[in-house]
Structure 1
Amino acid sequence: MATRRTGTGDGFEAAVVACGAAVIGVGFATWLGARLSVVFTGGSVHGGLGDWLRAAVGLASGVRPERAWGDHAARLPSAPVYWACTAVATVALGGVGGGLWWVWRRLARDGGRTRFGQPTDAHQARPRDVAPLVVESVVPPTGRMLLGRMAGRGPLLATEDRKRHPLAGRHRRRQGNRGSVALIGPTGSGKTALATSAIATWDGPVVAVSVKRDLYDTTVAARASKGDIAVFDPGGVTGLPTARWSPLEATVTSSGALRTGRALAQAIPKGGVTNAEYWAEHGEGLLGAFMCVAGLSRLLSDADGKPMKPIGMEQLAAWVRTLAGATDPTINDIITRACDNRDNIEIQLLGRHAATTFTGVGREDDKIRSSVYSTAVLALKPWLEPAVAHSASSSPHAFYSGGPTFSHRPRYLDLEWLMDGEDGRSNTLYLSAPTAEFERLSPVLGGVLADLKDTIHAWDIAKRPLEKPLLIVIDEAAHLQIGWLPTEVSTIAALGAFFVTCWQNLAQINHRYDSLADAVLSGHRTKCFFAGIDDLTTLKYLTTMLGHEEVIRRGSSHDIPSVWGNRQGGRRSVSESTQRDEFAPAHTLREMFPGEAVLLHSTLPPIHLSAVRHWEEPDLVQLVQQGNVSVFTCPLTSDPVPDAEHPALDIATLEAAKAQLPKARRDRPSPASDPAQAPGNGSAIPIVERAVCAACHEDLGPGEWRERPDGSRLCAPNCHEREVRSRGC
């Protein structure tokens, strides 16, 4: 018994029926044409189907109508009139036949059920279904991102922007609005190629985050023709002068300082950490206090009336690393002067928050306080590195180790710079970090994105919409911890910006965002799944979203003829049944041709997409070009740099580190002068001095204590702070 899937029946039987219908149709059309022609001459046409077919054969052989019909027709008109009538008859007969076929198909169709106005059977998008996405050129209009072509030489497709490009007619009902895009597929499947084409053709400012430099190399020429270029490279791996960004620029207000602390805490990697959200929340409070201190250093003046030297990220990171608190002389002086201020309410608010937070953290249990500081260290630890600290400074040196010196001071990156393209120009910001350090630098890169996000919301509240849509591309998004992505990936599109995130599979999203993974994925209006996917989580999601279809199964059976002449031998039976199958089995998704993808967009049926490859599109070959392009990657201000010496290292941090260094002990011999002998082999083992807190008798490590005037030691900040408070009382 053979079973096949078909919608109309056995193939041979269908072919026989079709041939018979065609023969009858030819004969009837020949008779109808002749009958119509004799209406004008008063003649007649008679005969049967066989006579009509013989006349058709003669006419096809080039015989004149009179001879072809012979005695079966009388008084036929001239050949032109005859053939004109035959053509009219053929067209009319074809129209009637087509109409009958359409009616029959409508009546015989299975799975015609509808629910909520849609058919219950899944189907692949047809050209008429993708009308809301169609664009005329590989360079789409403003606000729309290029996606690719509909497979099979279909039209070019791009994302939607109902506000800038509304549709009319029946397609208006299906049109959606702009939204974020998720590109999901294994390495080499075409994600970066599509992102490259999108960046090169985007009409507006762009922020591109990548673990590789190829995204910069392939698009910098196209973006440089549209506006200025900035490369924020906190790790110093690209060899380009890094642009500058510091989270401290917003800390001059109490709300800005707290937002900055929150943004840094949300970027802390949380993978594998127990109660990560709990400790991140506590670390957020401590970070907010340090941000308040940094903001106060930008608002307060010295005793002689001169502005204080602003505290930078490098100093804050050193303070957190050494568990500094309100007992630190510099921090204590800043907070005290802020609380004594009666002229500026922001100074008072910053001072009050810093004082209460440091006091509360100092009174916590030792283990809790240690965990809170450890959490804050994760957020600020990157700025302990010289390259990262340099990217947050206003040093005129191109690199932290020196190098060329700029004539003007570097400008800190912000949304103002991105949107500051004049005469229709649009600026571009590249964020770069190597794969091995991407997660470690997550607080830095995530802080930049959070700063831009917060500014977009602030502008919206101030009724200041973005003049041009902002495209934010995050290549290998699984390497970056963005705590606010589940909520912002969808809502920020309404404010004029949207994300393009690249993932290798859905397992990465589940690992990074845990219970909020579905919120991240569903927040993307457009999801593009590339060929070669073999992740079970991704395949299960796709087969579920693509749905099912009713499939007709026909089976036939034949009896073997009996050798004894049984009359029932050779019988044939046909059975038919319907079965609900997956619309796209997992293997078909994996086995698509490289560069192809399944596009799920808003409410449209699934689209078979041939993603754009810039090297295959003639219009993009010149736009996206390889090679060295000379651009300046560090925006500058209009403030000239004084002629004085500008050390790359902040001397204040060096002095602070020296002040924290414990004094050397001279009351005991050094290990080198009095080595102990190891048993057995006689080799020297250095004697390690053991320091103990005079109050709690806990062992002390290097830098974990403060010395009393009598030479004894107290652990810092625990026992040391308690003694300081008791003396103050």
Structure 2
Amino acid sequence: MASFKMKAGAALVASAGLSAAVAVEPGWTTAALAAGTSSAVWWRYGRVGTRAAIDRWDRNAARHAGTASWWDLTRTSSAWAMRRKARVLRPSLAGAPVWRVWQTPITSVAVPLCTVGRRTVYTSVEESTLRVGIPGTGKTAELACRVLDAPGGAVVTSTATDLYDLTALVRTRSGPVTVFNPGGLGGLASTLRWSPLSGCEQPETAARRAADLVGPQTPGSEGERWASNGRRILAVLLHAAALGGYRMADVAGWVANPDAATPFVLAALKDSPQPEAMRTAARQMLGTNARTRDGVMLAITPAVAWTTLPTAAECGDVDPDDSWEITDLTDRAGTLYLLGDEDGTVGPLLSALVAEIAHQARRTAAARPGGRLDPALLLVLDEVALTCRTPLPQWMAELRKRNIGIHAACQGLAQLRQVWGADGAAMILNCAAAVLVYGGCKDAADLDLFARLAGDRDETVQTHDGDGRLSATSTRRVPVIGVPMLAGLPNFHAMLIRRGMPVALARTPIAWKRRAVRRAGRVARVVHEHPADQRATGAQPAATAPAAA
């Protein structure tokens, strides 16, 4: 608003000077010229109210049929727009000269999300994005590019090995690659062992871990009431198990038989930092009436069901492994792949580990210059509703302040509502700086919602008489992108809803067409067929090399 007033004032002063200069020339011509100049300047710069802003918005939308213009993309999503925020996104550049800031690689401050025409659309490394689409439309191909372009560390979750196969060998060039595969997908060996009991000697850690294992429930539902009580009981059980040297299999046994667990739990809690308070809570929770207790234990059961799977127990029901630290991600640009199963049995274990990483990364960032990680940490969460049942709505709103960007993908908004409820799903959608809506959706409510977000445009309708001659024209309002067009988008195409600009039809990148991925695939094949050539090619061992794209 202030800038418009300054421009208007300067222009009016200039026009006043012109009027004074031509006033010495008699006649109506010079007076009309001065008056016309003043009116034009006022119309262009002086109308700074709400109505004028809406008029300008409408005229711009009409010129581009309600879609993003060249200037919209430049202003919000270009490399120039991203580099303007470089000193905030990279605190190490705070005192750097301008030339160095503008020579910084764009991928260190921004993520190349998609292309609109020939323009690349960027989002900053702190911004969260959401992808909505059915399987096979191109979400995984685009998410793999997010892993490849990560400027620092990356945490990758998925229910398949696709992302690992496409990106792991390339990511070894930037930092250590670690695999946590409790579901045993693809026969891929886990190189990380982590127990949810790690750190639960402290009551606050046990409470946080219990909430992560149980996960979110639909607010106000009967399940949420049982889950709320279950989190409190599970926190006491985890605390007791950590103090007594037990394992997660023992916790699962206590959940199945609380009567037999009571003496073991009470004995272990003697060493608690708050022994009397914790023992009192344990007696109250485990000694309640059988019907209520059984209902609460039933709500806890899915959180510990993974202990019955041999592959999950091998890497999750173990003594804490101190060989991996958060600095592998924050300081060494490492990549951690967490692979789940299709039915979500190991989902609580993955969710607890991702939540622990986010917690440690947030604490690490708070102690860094500017309160941010430099470079940023990316959480690439494929099939987020199955592999990462965490406080995602709150994360998408808050983690950006610490340079922790979230790139999530789901198969539909109904999947988000099923886990986080209607309000949580709406918050996830609202907090995403960019949303990619792929084709193939058949949910009428979702399609109508996205079509309404795209807005309307004016369409000229011509009327012809019986002889085919044009007799009249009229204007009607139609959707910018109709429901049939949105549902029928081809693969690797999506509707882009970007903060600060109208919608656009975009093409999303395909990871296996990138040169680095194709070369990594060739190297993997050479290593697999000729193990003796490992030293010559500099490749990883065949057991950890990804399959060819």
Coarse TM-score class (shorter-chain normalised): 0.7 to 0.9
* Higher RCO (Cα < 8 Å, 6 or more apart): 2
The reply on whether 1:467 has 2:402 as its aligned counterpart is no
Deviations 1:536-579 (A, max 9, x none): 2331112100101122323242579xxxxxxxxxxx77323221
What secondary structure, in the 3-state scheme, does the structure 1 residue paired with 2:379 have?
A: strand
CA 1:420–1:392 in structure 2 vs 1: closer, same or farther (change >3 Å)? farther
The reply on whether 1:476 has 2:363 as its aligned counterpart is no
Alignment of 1:27-66 (within 5 A): none
CA 1:363–1:129 in structure 2 vs 1: closer, same or farther (change >3 Å)? same
Question: Gapped runs of 5+ residues in structure 2?
Answer: 1-43, 45-50, 81-102, 529-538, 545-549
Question: 137, 140, 148: which one pairs with 2:114?
Answer: 148
The reply on whether 1:630 has 2:535 as its aligned counterpart is no
The match for 1:440 is: 345
Alignment of 1:625-704 (within 5 A): 627=525, 630=540
Larger radius of gyration: 1
Q: CA shift at 1:448, angstroms?
A: 0.9
Q: CA shift at 1:484, angstroms?
A: 0.9
Question: Matches of 2:218 and 2:399 in 1, distance apart?
Answer: 26
The match for 1:115 is: 54
The match for 1:294 is: 241
C-alpha RMSD of the superposition: 3.1
The match for 2:72 is: 129
Question: Matches of 1:324 and 1:353 in 2, distance apart?
Answer: 20
Contact 2:107 2:149 in 1 (8 A): no
Question: Matches of 1:632 and 1:499 in 2, distance apart?
Answer: 31
CA 1:331–1:545 in structure 2 vs 1: closer, same or farther (change >3 Å)? same
Number of equivalent positions: 450
Q: CA shift at 1:286, angstroms?
A: 0.6
Q: TM-score, normalised by structure 2?
A: 0.74
What secondary structure, in the 3-state scheme, does the structure 1 residue paired with 2:433 have?
A: strand
Q: CA shift at 1:624, angstroms?
A: 6.9
The match for 2:251 is: 316
The reply on whether 1:348 has 2:273 as its aligned counterpart is yes
Question: Matches of 1:559 and 1:369 in 2, distance apart?
Answer: 82
The one-letter amino acid of 1:284's match is R
The match for 1:100 is: none
CA 1:335–1:547 in structure 2 vs 1: closer, same or farther (change >3 Å)? same
The match for 1:385 is: 309
The match for 1:537 is: 445
Question: Matches of 2:111 and 2:477 in 1, distance apart?
Answer: 36
The one-letter amino acid of 2:171's match is R
What secondary structure, in the 3-state scheme, does the structure 2 residue paired with 1:179 have?
A: coil
Question: Gapped runs of 5+ residues in structure 1?
Answer: 1-105, 107-111, 162-177, 298-309, 339-346, 396-408, 561-571, 635-729
Question: Matches of 1:159 and 1:134 in 2, distance apart?
Answer: 8
Question: Matches of 1:354 and 1:522 in 2, distance apart?
Answer: 40
Question: 327, 346, 355: which one pairs with 1:416?
Answer: 327
Question: 357, 364, 369: which one pairs with 2:293?
Answer: 369
CA 1:493–1:277 in structure 2 vs 1: closer, same or farther (change >3 Å)? same
Contact 1:265 1:376 in 2 (8 A): yes
Deviations 1:387-430 (A, max 9, x none): 222213557xxxxxxxxxxxxx9536552332241xxxx10100
Q: CA shift at 1:524, angstroms?
A: 1.2
Q: CA shift at 1:145, angstroms?
A: 1.9
Q: CA shift at 1:584, angstroms?
A: 1.3
Deviations 1:467-502 (A, max 9, x none): 321111121223246241122122211211121111
Alignment of 1:82-121 (within 5 A): 115=54, 118-119=57-58, 121=62
Q: TM-score, normalised by structure 1?
A: 0.57
The match for 1:186 is: 134
Q: CA shift at 1:522, angstroms?
A: 1.5
Contact 1:293 1:354 in 2 (8 A): no
Question: 430, 454, 468: which one pairs with 2:359?
Answer: 454
The match for 1:252 is: 201
Deviations 1:90-122 (A, max 9, x none): xxxxxxxxxxxxxxxx9xxxxx98528622756
What secondary structure, in the 3-state scheme, does the structure 2 residue paired with 1:248 have?
A: coil
Contact 2:494 2:506 in 1 (8 A): yes
Deviations 1:299-344 (A, max 9, x none): xxxxxxxxxxx2222222222222256642x3332223x3xxxxxx
Question: Matches of 1:273 and 1:239 in 2, distance apart?
Answer: 41
Contact 1:213 1:432 in 2 (8 A): yes
Deviations 1:115-147 (A, max 9, x none): 28622756212333212423499x852132222
Contact 1:229 1:631 in 2 (8 A): no
Q: CA shift at 1:513, angstroms?
A: 2.5
Question: Matches of 2:303 and 2:412 in 1, distance apart?
Answer: 27
What secondary structure, in the 3-state scheme, does the structure 1 residue paired with 2:451 have?
A: helix
CA 1:573–1:488 in structure 2 vs 1: closer, same or farther (change >3 Å)? closer
Question: Matches of 1:245 and 1:512 in 2, distance apart?
Answer: 25
Question: 512, 517, 521: which one pairs with 2:419?
Answer: 512
Question: Matches of 2:452 and 2:55 in 1, distance apart?
Answer: 19
Question: Matches of 1:290 and 1:520 in 2, distance apart?
Answer: 32
CA 1:353–1:261 in structure 2 vs 1: closer, same or farther (change >3 Å)? farther
CA 1:198–1:631 in structure 2 vs 1: closer, same or farther (change >3 Å)? farther
The reply on whether 1:200 has 2:148 as its aligned counterpart is yes
Question: Matches of 1:130 and 1:158 in 2, distance apart?
Answer: 9
The one-letter amino acid of 1:231's match is V
CA 1:594–1:292 in structure 2 vs 1: closer, same or farther (change >3 Å)? closer
Contact 1:207 1:428 in 2 (8 A): yes
Question: 490, 495, 499: which one pairs with 1:593?
Answer: 490
Deviations 1:152-186 (A, max 9, x none): xx12232125xxxxxxxxxxxxxxxx311111222
Q: CA shift at 1:534, angstroms?
A: 3.1
Question: Matches of 1:411 and 1:116 in 2, distance apart?
Answer: 61
CA 1:462–1:279 in structure 2 vs 1: closer, same or farther (change >3 Å)? farther
Contact 2:131 2:408 in 1 (8 A): yes
The match for 2:429 is: 521
What secondary structure, in the 3-state scheme, does the structure 1 residue paired with 2:107 have?
A: coil
Q: CA shift at 1:457, angstroms?
A: 3.4
Question: 166, 175, 178: which one pairs with 1:218?
Answer: 166
What secondary structure, in the 3-state scheme, does the structure 1 residue paired with 2:258 have?
A: coil
Contact 2:494 2:505 in 1 (8 A): yes
CA 1:536–1:134 in structure 2 vs 1: closer, same or farther (change >3 Å)? same
Question: Matches of 1:197 and 1:276 in 2, distance apart?
Answer: 38
Contact 1:317 1:380 in 2 (8 A): yes
CA 1:251–1:478 in structure 2 vs 1: closer, same or farther (change >3 Å)? closer
Contact 1:553 1:576 in 2 (8 A): yes
Contact 2:366 2:402 in 1 (8 A): no
Question: Matches of 1:143 and 1:548 in 2, distance apart?
Answer: 34
What secondary structure, in the 3-state scheme, does the structure 1 residue paired with 2:311 have?
A: helix
CA 1:451–1:619 in structure 2 vs 1: closer, same or farther (change >3 Å)? closer
What secondary structure, in the 3-state scheme, does the structure 2 residue paired with 1:581 have?
A: strand
Contact 1:317 1:377 in 2 (8 A): yes
